[in-house]
Amino acid sequence: MDWSKTLVKEEIDFTAGESGRKLSYAAAIREALELALTSDERVFIMGQGVDDPAGMFSITTDLHKKYGEERVFDTPLSENALTGVAIGAALAGMRPIYMHNRPDFLLLAMDQIVNHAAKWSYMFGGCIGVPLVIWACVGRGWGGAAQHTQTLQGLFMHVPGLRLVMPTTPYDAKGLLISSIADNNPVIILEHRWLFRQSGHVPEGLYSIPFGRGVVRRLGKDITIVAISYMVVEALNAAQELEKQGIDAEVIDPRTLKPLDEALILDSVRKTGRLIVADTGWKTGGAGAEIATMVAEKGFDYLKAPIKRVASLDIPTPASDILEAKFYVGKADIIAACTALLEKRSGNGKG
């Protein structure tokens, strides 16, 4: 199958969610997987629990019954070895999708991901690709604690040769997964479990969303909030509250972190003069730090106030509900950061 001739490059504004066919977040992902399996016999799915009744958060339910155990199969607890198997299959012309319950388990496969999947194309002068999709889901609020709730996008942003995708809506979840399967490079997709609560507009059939193209989720003129993954939901809720205070916030959803839609972010900051970056990961050395640095390097003259980051505390994730509530950031933290920046409007001579 020639994916480049089959995919419909469809860009639908997020407001289309108000009408048309609606699917849950999980159903949108499952539909993408089913379409890929049906359209291309080179596609197969592997991972712990993909063939069990729960179907990996319901996104692979019964796919093994329809497509057979040779194309949808459970894997042993041996992440590094199995990632090597997936890379070998990709090099041999297959299009594997390796699904992990948690990003934490990707740490067990870092040698294969960083030293092999990310580097083969470069080492062979672009003559060979590694069309591998690695999918993982971030948990939160269920006591997963330090070893089962890590959001590691900052770690993977650091590695050349990897694409990094973090959708927010059911529409994006389907379209970006299809784009990832069709791509000839290794792609890591990190989902957030709380996004599975959403339903939204999802077109039928195969369609793609280009990597490196973000979207403005809410227009505003006073401050830019670049929000990653589930933090888009928190940022939109914060923007509604800020509006009551006379603050008009613009919310940007990058959708992919690597490549990053730098132009969209810089255009927004040029208009507003202020930037908040809201991330689900840790603050130090995280995705928020990279975005903030990019704006400081390329758009410093646009800024009317210092850049602020809203991110998780630099500690391991606690297990108790009470401590989790303090650890995770959200709407209130975004509102506080925005309010603090806007208070500087008359104090720095630029605003």
Residue pair 138/151 in contact by the 8 Å Cβ criterion: yes
Distance CA 202, CA 69 (A): 28
Residue pair 234/311 in contact by the 8 Å Cβ criterion: no
Residue pair 128/119 in contact by the 8 Å Cβ criterion: no
Pick the catalytic residue: 79, 191, 250, 290?
79
Residue 79: active-site member:
yes
Cis upstream peptide for 186 (omega within 30°): no
Distance CA 34, CA 21 (A): 18
Pick the catalytic residue: 148, 241, 243, 262?
148
| CA dist list (Å): 184 to 34, 166, 253 | 19, 18, 24
Q: What is the dihedral of CA 330, 220, 198, 308, to 10 degrees?
A: -30
Residue 201: active-site member:
no
For helices 262-272 and 287-298, give the axis angle rounded to 10 degrees: 60
Binning the chain into helix, strand and coil, the percentages to the nearest 5 are 45, 20, 40
Catalytically active residues are: 79, 148
